[in-house]
């Protein structure tokens, strides 16, 4: 469980570092002062791209597009139920952005953790691209 939480937190940090509703975000920094620090902007941008490649590629390999849509749909249904029960409201755009970041990071966290979950449930390890 701790492994999944770490993967989810790192996915959230990756997404929130790229874009969030505060002023502390890569996209806003690049638009306002990226030209003054072009080398740092390129370096940080490439590090973010590497993070996305790791998360998205692993997620696509482990659960695929259908799995990603299914996890997003289940999470969306949970948000819908929370809204119907009066536990949350979608009237605040800033809060909606944070919820969207949480949902997307949850999908990526599940994708990165799925092989571990599958191995524990079935006792079988996933083996992809093994050279013999």
Give the pLDDT means over successive 10-residue stretches in the chain (132 positions). 88 95 91 87 95 92 90 92 93 93 92 76 62 50
CA 110/CA 119 separation, integer angstroms: 14
* Whole-number pLDDT of residue 70: 93
DSSP letter assigned to residue 127: -
* Residues 6 or more apart in contact with residue 4 via CB below 8 angstroms: 109, 110, 113, 116, 117
- Measured between alpha carbons, how far is 49 from 76 in angstroms, rounded to an integer? 26
What is the per-residue pLDDT for 125? 63
């Amino acid at each position: 469980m701790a492994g999944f939480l770490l993967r989810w937190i790192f996915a959230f940090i990756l997404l929130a570092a790229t874009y969030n509703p505060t002023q502390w975000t890569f996209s806003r920094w690049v638009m306002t002062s990226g030209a003054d620090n072009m080398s740092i902007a390129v370096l940080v941008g490439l590090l973010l791209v590497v993070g996305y490649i790791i998360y998205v590629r692993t997620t696509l390999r482990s659960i695929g597009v259908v799995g990603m849509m299914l996890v997003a749909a289940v999470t969306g249904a949970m948000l819908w139920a929370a809204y119907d029960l009066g536990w949350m409201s979608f009237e605040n755009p800033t809060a909606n952005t944070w919820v969207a970041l949480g949902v997307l990071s949850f999908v990526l966290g599940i994708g990165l953790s799925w092989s571990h979950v599958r191995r524990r449930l079935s006792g079988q390890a996933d083996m992809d691209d093994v050279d013999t």
